[in-house]
Amino acid sequence: MIAHGKDIKVFTGNSNPKLAQNICQELGIPLGDSEVGAFSDGENFASIYETVRGSDVFVVQSTCSFRKDDKSGSVNDALMELLIMIDALRRASAGRITAVVPYFGYARQDRKTKPRDPISAKLVANLITTAGADRVLTMDLHANQIQGFFDIPVDNLLGSPIFVDHFIEKYASCHDDTMVVSPDVGSVARARAFAQKLNMPLAIVDKRRQKANQCEVMNVIGDVEGKECILFDDMVDTAGSLCNAAKAIVEVGGAKKVYACASHGVLSGPALERLAASSIEELALLDTIPAPAGEEELAKSRIKYLTVAPMFAEAIERTYQEISIAKLFN
């Protein structure tokens, strides 16, 4: 039995409308007619201006901070917009609602690290489910176990194939002198899978974190001397860990050049300044989160964005057709 709606409709909030528009272009459909904003007192609202009765609806909204009309929105604004849109669509008799969350905020709060800590990732999962979502489509969750926080199906797309294509093209002529580096021990499994796809050796930066958003790089496990290295992680927040890892690879390990890639560019606080002053030749990011600065500032920080729109469009089409999404990564 086919469980999807009669047609595909895509709507977006304010956190990443450009990505939603690009997804619609890949699908060959117009972006849904809606308005999402805030009243003068800060309360969020959503208005849907077309019928969605019986449709297979996809709401594209990364739960990240954003800017709209020279006004800033927080992670919580993005989350509330997503919840309110889902509620509006459910009350409008949508056939099925999929929350498309390219970047899932609060994912780092996935466990208790000390007494009386919340597990905010589980709370966000409950909110999305209670609002009325039937499915969730996301990319590179910070911890895979977050999929188990939901009581509805979750498809967690992998951004690594996009980076694999990017670096295969980049290193076609000097493949033997390149290796993948994990910026910390916790990212080893992710970096190892990436290295296997590129058929490159793996090194690890061993670090000791003193407190939140600060870390001290200790040493490099693996021979990176004279090599061009690719640092691989799932996100870049303040860029402290990434820049310290790059410094260790060059100063301790003796690497020739350092490149980096990460699925989600949060780039908060001093991130852009740190990247501009670092030894990283290029940082490749996916556009799950919109760029926080103009092209000139991004160029100073040597940041390059790769689009995820084709992958999300294919996943949306496969969800609608009830076709396996896992085969995208086989």
Contacts of 113 (CB under 8 A, 6+ apart): none
Under 8 Å between Cβ of 97 and 318: no
Least reliable range by pLDDT among 58-62, 124-128, 186-190, 229-233 = 186-190
Which of 197, 207, 211, 300 is flagged as catalytic?
Answer: 207
Q: DSSP string covering 83-118, please?
A: HHHHHHHHHTTBSEEEEEESS-TTTT--S-SSTT--
Beta bridge partners of 230: 180, 259
The residue that leads in pLDDT, 167 or 216, is 167
Residue-wise pLDDT tens digits, 78-97: 999 999 999 999 999 999 99
pLDDT in the model for residue 4: 64
| Known catalytic residue at 207 | yes
- Is the pLDDT at 76 greater than 60? The verdict is yes
Per residue in 9-45, pLDDT (tens digit) is 999 999 999 999 999 999 999 999 999 999 999 999 9
Write out the DSSP string of 20-54.
HHHHHHHHT-PPP-EEEEE-TTS-EEEEE-S--BT
In sequence order, which residues have a C-beta less than 8 Å from that of residue 77 and are 6 or more positions away? 14, 38, 44, 66
pLDDT of residue 237: 94
Portion of the chain with pLDDT greater than 90, in percent? 76
Domain residue ranges of the chain, discontinuous segments joined by +: 8-157+309-329, 160-306
Looking at domain 160-306, its CATH architecture is 3-Layer(aba) Sandwich (3.40)
Q: What angle in degrees, to the nearest 10, is found between the helix axes of 160-170 and 188-198? A: 50
Phi, psi at residue 121, to the nearest 5°?
-60, -40
The domain 8-157+309-329 is placed in CATH, from the list 3.40.50.300, 3.40.50.2020, 1.10.10.10, 3.40.190.10, at 3.40.50.2020
Tokens of 158: 């992998």
How, if at all, do strands 214-221 and 202-211 pair?
antiparallel
The tokens of 250 are what?
A: 């060059």
pLDDT tens track for 100-156: 999 999 999 999 989 999 999 999 999 999 999 999 999 999 988 999 999 999 999
| Cα gap 198→168, rounded to integer Å | 7
235-290 per-position pLDDT tens digit: 999 998 899 899 999 998 899 999 999 999 999 999 999 999 999 999 999 999 99
pLDDT band, residue 211 (cuts 50/70/90): low
